[in-house]
Amino acid sequence: MEKKKFVFIITHSFDRPDLVAGALQLATNMRAFDADVDFFLMDNGALLAKKGYAETLIWQKKDEFSPIHQLMDTLINDFGCTFYICASCVKHYELDKVEKIKNSEVKPGSFLGEMLMERQGLTF
């Protein structure tokens, strides 16, 4: 059977951390089953590329769900997932002035279009 490939398009951060957490948890579970999983961060979701930003997104009650920063750490360090950052969002969110997370790379929207030609897209 051919390995399944997905791109998670994350468009939220501070405005819907619950949605971000759900997307990252689903991606972690899918990656654990050997699916090919990467991310495209755009709109408010681009802020997740800022090193240390995920640690500020505290929304759940203690021990209720996995924290966003822990999920991202697992996806990046344990599974080697890449977080592509929408090039159009970089200046708007001043990401060109800050340190970015490991395994992140700035790409244009056309790159997302390319990815969607060979992967299933899931938008959160």
At 82-100, the pLDDT tens digits run 999 999 999 999 999 999 9
Structure tokens at 9: 């398009």
At 28-86, the pLDDT tens digits run 999 999 999 999 999 999 999 999 999 999 876 666 678 999 999 999 999 999 999 99
- Structural Rg of the chain based on CA atoms: 14
Contact 122, 11 (CB under 8 A): no
45 closest CA partner among 66, 23, 29, 61: 23
Local structure of residue 48 (DSSP, 8 states): G
Q: Which fold is adopted by the domain 5-123?
A: Hypothetical Protein Ychn; Chain: A, (3.40.1260)
What are the structural domain ranges in the chain? 5-123
